[in-house]
């Protein structure tokens, strides 16, 4: 080997070791950076000399795909679980000491009526009316909570849509950098890391799938197949509602004009925070609202007053009323929003003994009086009838999902059980999804991330290689000097 060849080989070795050392130092510096992958300096031999021809990164497409799916499931399940926890507050504590749930308050009203019947001349009438007021107020408050949960979910949907659009805009810029860099042969590894990071954030908002094409170009689709990005970002739109009542229907989310959150739609998304929020707003909260409305309707039905004169008059609302109306809602059919409007009749609040005697409601005609001798303190028939009515099976709307033929107390208990089961199941599912996400993230990190021990070991080997090449350069230099001196 000539001195010139030896010098070229040694110089190339120094250059390669230097480049590899820079890559290792870059890996060590990014060891704590989220989403940073391990970079590799690719060395090939050209004309007999080593050379670093490219910088690539360690990738694992299967692990990344698993993480994107786990992200979407975790975000959806977390949104559902959080909302159900809020709704759970409407049924009170889960202990035997609970006194605030509709079930407990119905039992308290029944006890108060029984006490009043046992001593109809006492002040127990006031206690019974107060128990009825507490129950009506609890239903009002529960209905308000349900609509607040729906309103919060609707606002969060708007935030999610805004986040999705921002992420798609960022993705477009990074994707263009990657495509141009690939064509030019530039180092695009950091841009690829950034793109993967954006995908992880995006998958938390909406379930996605990706396709990589020539020049590292990538397209993104929703989990239902609608294009989110293909060369350019598609527009994701949503119009939020300012207020929510039982009759309010939330708007759909559109991707490039295609609805993706309409129940039963061809392109309905199944995962991501967006899917969870829509499920809360349009399904779970609506069903629970129906159950509250059925409890309210059952109360009006159980306490309705009928014509005692034999004249065949229509039943009228008694102790409980729909915002003062005398109309008794249709049996077995949800009266939308009734739980937010139910109240105790003003006349019985003013004169609690009407609960015993009847004649609570009047439409200008003769009231439906039950006590043959109004004011007689020993009369208990009406009170016993009301206690029995709370224990008598009624027809409930099957659409509410808590039963079709139960007593009012049993229906309220079934509703609380429905909510408890949904909440517990959602909590368990969310915990499982969080574990799957953590496992997927660990698997991706292990497969593509930086291991500090590996990098430091690599650094020591490179130092030795650099030192050997440097010594060869020094030796060749000395030989050249000796040769020149000899000449």
Q: Are residues 44 and 79 in the same domain?
A: no
Task: Answer whether residue 78 is part of any domain.
Answer: yes
CB 407 within 8 A of CB 390: yes
Q: How confident is the model at residue 470 (pLDDT cuts 50, 70, 90)?
A: low
Question: What separation, in Å, do the N-terminal and C-terminal C-alpha atoms of the chain show?
Answer: 21
Does residue 77 share a domain with residue 44?
no
The answer to the question of residue 318 being in a domain is: yes
CB within 8 A of 364, min separation 6: which ones?
Answer: none
Other C-beta atoms closer than 10 Å to the C-beta of 149 total 25
> Are both 356 and 453 inside the same structural domain?
no
Residue 366 tokens read as 């003769």
Per cent of the chain over pLDDT 70 is 85
Could you tell me the pLDDT band of residue 448, with boundaries at 50, 70 and 90? confident
**What's the farthest any 2 CA atoms get from each other in the chain?**
143
Does 397 lie in the same domain as 468? no
Q: In sequence order, which residues have a C-beta less than 8 Å from that of residue 242 and are 6 or more positions away?
A: none
Q: How far apart are CA 365 and CA 185, in angstroms?
A: 92
Find the helix or strand (DSSP H, E) in which 49 lies.
strand 49-57
Mean pLDDT of 458-482: 63
Residues 225 and 111 in one domain: yes
* pLDDT at residue 475 in the model: 63
Q: How many domains does the chain have?
A: 2
Tell me the three state secondary structure of residue 265: coil
Each residue of 18-27: b (16+ CB within 10 Å) or e? Answer: ebbbebbebb
Examine the pLDDT at 322 and tell me if it is beyond 90: yes
Lowest mean pLDDT among 197-201, 362-366, 411-415: 362-366
Instruction: Provide the 8-state DSSP code for 369.
Output: B
394 beta partners: 406
32 and 142 inside one domain: no
Across the range 270-282, mean pLDDT stands at 96
* Structural domain contains residue 298: yes
What is the DSSP code (8-state) at residue 328? P
Domain-embedded: residue 354: yes
The alpha carbon of residue 116 and the mean position of all alpha carbons in its chain are separated, in whole angstroms, by 47
CA distance 230 to 290: 42
Instruction: Tell me: do 54 and 172 sit in the same domain.
Output: no
Structural domain that includes position 157: 65-433
Query: Residue 375 — pLDDT band, cuts 50, 70, 90?
Result: confident
The reported pLDDT for the residue numbered 421 is 93
Structural domain contains residue 249:
yes
402 and 304 in one domain? Answer: yes
pLDDT of residue 95: 47
The answer on 73 and 44 residing in a single domain is no
- Asked if residue 482 belongs to a domain, the reply is no
Asked whether residue 177 is assigned to any structural domain, the reply reads: yes
Instruction: Look at residue 442 and tell me if it is in a domain.
Output: no
CB 68 within 8 A of CB 199: yes
Residues 99 and 10 in one domain: no
Give the tens place of pLDDT for each residue, 150-197: 999 999 999 999 999 999 999 999 999 999 999 998 989 889 999 999
pLDDT digits (tens, 9 = 90+) for 73-94: 999 999 999 999 999 988 865 5
Task: Please tell me which residue, 467 or 386, carries the higher pLDDT value.
Answer: 386
- The answer to whether 351 and 129 are in contact (CB under 8 A) is no
Instruction: Write out pLDDT tens, residues 7-55.
Output: 566 566 666 667 677 777 787 887 777 878 887 777 676 766 666 667 7
Report, as an integer, the average pLDDT of 110-126: 88
Span 438-457, mean pLDDT? 82
- Which has more confidence, 470 or 30? 30
3-class DSSP state of 327: coil
Determine what percent of the chain is predicted with pLDDT higher than 90: 63
Tell me: do 149 and 12 sit in the same domain: no
Cβ-based neighbours of 335, under 8 Å, separated by 6 or more: 293, 296, 297, 322, 329
Query: What pLDDT does 53 receive?
Result: 64
Are residues 229 and 305 located together in one domain of the fold?
Answer: yes
Burial annotation 77-112 (CB, 10 A radius, 16+ → b, else e): bbbbbbbbebbbebbbeeeeeeebbbbbbbbbbbeb
Residue labelled with tokens 């004011």: 375
**Is pLDDT of 478 > 60?**
yes
Q: What is the DSSP letter of 352?
A: T
């Amino acid at each position: 080997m000539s001195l010139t060849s030896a010098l070229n080989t040694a110089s190339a070795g120094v250059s390669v070791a230097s480049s590899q050392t820079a890559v290792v130092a870059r890996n060590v510096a990014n060891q704590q950076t989220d989403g940073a992958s391990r970079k590799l300096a690719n060395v090939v031999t050209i004309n007999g000399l080593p050379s670093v021809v490219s910088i690539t990164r360690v990738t694992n497409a299967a692990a990344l795909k698993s993480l994107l799916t786990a992200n979407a499931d975790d975000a959806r399940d977390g949104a559902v679980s959080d909302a159900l926890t809020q709704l759970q507050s409407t049924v009170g504590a889960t202990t035997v000491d609970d006194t605030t749930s509709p079930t407990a308050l119905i039992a308290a009203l029944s006890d108060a009526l029984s006490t009043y019947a046992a001593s109809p001349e006492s002040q127990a009438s006031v206690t019974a009316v107060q128990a009825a007021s507490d129950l009506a107020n609890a239903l009002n408050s529960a209905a308000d909570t349900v609509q607040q949960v729906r309103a919060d979910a609707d606002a969060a949907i708007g935030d999610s849509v805004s986040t999705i659009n921002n992420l798609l805009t960022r993705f477009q810029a990074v994707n263009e950098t990657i495509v141009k860099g690939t064509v030019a042969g530039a180092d695009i590894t950091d841009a690829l890391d950034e793109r993967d990071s954006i995908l992880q954030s995006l998958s938390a908002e909406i379930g996605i799938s990706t396709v990589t094409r020539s020049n590292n170009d990538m397209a993104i689709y929703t989990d239902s197949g609608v294009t989110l990005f293909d060369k350019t970002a598609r527009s994701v739109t949503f119009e939020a509602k300012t207020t929510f009542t039982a009759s309010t229907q939330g708007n759909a989310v559109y991707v490039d004009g295609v609805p993706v959150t309409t129940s039963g739609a061809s392109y309905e998304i199944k995962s991501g925070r967006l899917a969870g929020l829509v499920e809360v707003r349009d399904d779970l909260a609506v069903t629970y609202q129906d159950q509250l409305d059925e409890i309210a309707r059952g109360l009006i039905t159980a306490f309705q007053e009928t014509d005692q004169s034999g004249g065949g008059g229509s039943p009228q609302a008694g102790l409980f009323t729909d915002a003062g109306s005398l109309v008794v809602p249709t049996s077995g059919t949800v009266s939308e929003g009734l739980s937010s409007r139910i109240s105790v009749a003003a006349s019985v609040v003013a004169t609690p003994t009407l609960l015993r005697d009847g004649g609570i409601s009047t439409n200008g005609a003769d009231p439906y009086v039950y006590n043959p001798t109004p004011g007689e303190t020993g009369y208990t028939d009406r009170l016993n009838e009301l206690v029995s009515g709370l224990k008598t099976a009624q027809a409930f709307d099957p659409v509410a999902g808590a039963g079709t033929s139960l007593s009012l107390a049993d229906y309220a208990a079934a509703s609380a059980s429905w909510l408890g089961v949904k909440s517990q199941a959602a909590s368990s599912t969310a915990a499982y999804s969080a574990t799957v996400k953590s496992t997927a993230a660990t698997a991706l990190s292990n497969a593509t991330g930086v291991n500090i021990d590996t990098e430091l070991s690599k650094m020591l080997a490179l130092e030795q290689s650099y030192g050997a090449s440097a010594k060869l350069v020094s030796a060749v230099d000395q030989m050249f000097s000796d040769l020149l001196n000899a000449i």
